[in-house]
């Protein structure tokens, strides 16, 4: 695993993230805001697994990229798949 970076919810995500991942980050942040969740102290953590970005929010939400389709998938804290 390669270490990436961390950034605050609502802050600028790394520009190197693929567009589907950036879109998923925006989607999650919008849902948190719509639900009235105070995530102002939460941070995202970017790492790379098998050369693909894995983004995790402090609450356990994880965004992974499908190796075949390149699509980003958001996994809630209780449904994060095992790492193969």
pLDDT, block means (10 residues), the chain with 84 residues: 82 94 97 96 95 95 95 86 56
d(Cα 62, Cα 48) in Å, to the nearest integer?
12
The reported pLDDT for the residue numbered 77 is 87
pTM above 0.85, yes or no: yes
Q: In the β-sheet with 43-49, what is the strand arrangement from edge to edge?
A: 2-8, 43-49, 52-57, 62-65, 72-75
d(Cα 39, Cα 72) in Å, to the nearest integer?
22
């Amino acid at each position: 695993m390669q270490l990436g970076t961390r950034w605050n919810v609502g802050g600028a995500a790394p520009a190197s993230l693929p567009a589907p991942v950036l879109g998923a980050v925006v989607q999650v942040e919008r849902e948190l805001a719509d639900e009235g969740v105070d995530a102002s102290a939460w941070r995202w953590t970017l790492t790379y697994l098998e050369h693909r970005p894995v983004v995790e929010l402090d609450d356990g939400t994880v965004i992974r990229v499908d190796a075949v389709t390149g699509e980003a998938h958001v996994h809630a804290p209780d449904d994060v798949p095992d790492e193969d």
